[in-house]
A = this chain, B = another copy of it.
Amino acid sequence: MSGSFAFSVLHTDGKARRGQITTPHGLVQTPAFMPVGTTGTVKAMYTDQVRETGADVVLGNVYHLMLRPTAERVARLGGLHTFMRWPHTILTDSGGFQIMSLGALRKLNEDGVTFKSHVDGSKHYLSPERSMEIQGLLGSDIQMQLDECLKLPAERSEVIRAMELSARWAARSKARFEELGGPQKGQGLYGIVQGGTDIELRLKSAELLTDIGFWGYSVGGLAVGEPQHEMLAVLDDTCPALPEDKPRYLMGVGTPDDLVKSVAHGIDMFDCVMPTRAGRHATAYTRFGKINLKNARHADDPRPLDEESSCPATRDYSRAYLHHLVKSNESLSGMLITWNNIAYYQDLMRGARDAIATGQYNDYLAACTDGWERGDIPAVG
């Protein structure tokens, strides 16, 4: 059930793909949603719960972990799998996205990027090579190249510069990944396609990366504020330019609607803080759409969020109780709603996989959308 990084497409339905990734820590069924475990914890959840929702893989953030507890410390403690008690697949990002978000606190040149820690203001340095070293120390199964992720909108010349720099960093990342023995350990490295919403630049980026050759390909720099149709247009042109036999990972996306539509364009993997962050802010994702548990309509409602769910948080706790916990600022509200959200995202991906396997993905997509548009069940009480 585990081995060297490999990917196979088991079924296709239109452009949608049902696949399977093998890693040193197990199998990842795709399309897959990866809960975000920024600092080595999927916030407010036990890893056993995360696993029970059906997640095959979680994401760790290099930026956060390199600052605290540091990659060296995690390595001494047996690696990130042992440290956070997640014996299944782990994907790490490269640190690029978070560092680029630091704005004035960071300084970038050809070699790499210096930045100040949000924890204590101390100075740090990250290069493509150092990011690979950190990800190697963490022991992640699927690793990301360091890239420069621009804030959009930006001048076209800037988008070109960042995309070309990211491609040069991609080559350096691969070289260091190989020096560190990543392939021998069965780990995989993904290149990251950049280029903003400019199709020509996206295709150029895809070409540069496929020439280098990676175990998988990420689409970065999307879902940063642009309308959904622009994001989907980029995917529409970018996905066909990527190797069919490698997984495609749309980074930092998104809403349930973003996910099912991106799957239709050929995306295999997703990560997003949305379900965990929303869970701590009283928003539940369900097949009835987004439900705001702060709303007084739930105060006397003895029904659960969704009685047909197999997730205990979704099925066994009344909306009235969840509303009460939210109003009382009780941590159990974040625990339960996050659990519901991660379970719903996993259910959504499980449904997508089943639908692709039986050639019914369009129907599935329509049924999901109908459910969200119909909205929540009528209030009681």
Mark A residues whose CB is within 8 Å of B. 39-41, 43-46, 64, 68-69, 73, 76-78, 83-85, 299-300, 302, 316-318, 320-321, 324-325, 327-328, 330-332, 334-335, 381
Contacts and interface: CB of A to CB of B under 8 A. Distances in A.
Contact of A44 (B302, B318, B335): B335
A213 B78 CA distance: 61
A78 B303 CA distance: 12
Given A44-B331, A69-B299, A331-B334, 9 more contacts: A40-B325, A43-B332, A68-B327, A69-B324, A73-B300, A77-B302, A83-B324, A85-B317, A85-B321
Given A68-B327, A302-B78, A335-B335, A320 B73 contact: yes
A40 B318 CA distance: 13
A76 to B, nearest CB: 7
Q: State the main secondary structure of chain A at its contact with B.
A: loop
A336 to B, nearest CB: 9
Nearest to A321: B83
Contact of A46 (B78, B299, B335, B381): B335
B76 A300 contact: yes
Contact of A321 (B76, B84, B324, B327): B84
A330 B39 contact: yes
Contact of A83 (B39, B78, B83, B318): B318
Contacts of A327: 68-69
Given A299-B69, A331-B334, A335-B335, A324 B40 contact: yes
Contacts of A335: 44, 46, 331, 335
B39 A324 contact: yes
Nearest to A381: B76
Contacts of A39: 324-325, 328, 330
Contacts of A78: 302
A300 B41 contact: no
A318 B78 CA distance: 11
A278 to B, nearest CB: 15
Given A44-B332, A68-B324, A327-B68, A77 B316 contact: no
Contacts of A299: 69, 73
A319 B88 CA distance: 22
B41 A332 contact: yes
Nearest to A39: B328
27 contacts: A39-B330, A40-B321, A40-B324, A40-B325, A41-B325, A41-B328, A41-B330, A41-B332, A43-B330, A43-B331, A43-B332, A44-B331, A44-B332, A46-B332, A64-B328, A68-B328, A69-B299, A69-B320, A73-B299, A73-B300, A77-B318, A77-B320, A83-B318, A83-B324, A85-B317, A85-B321, A335-B335
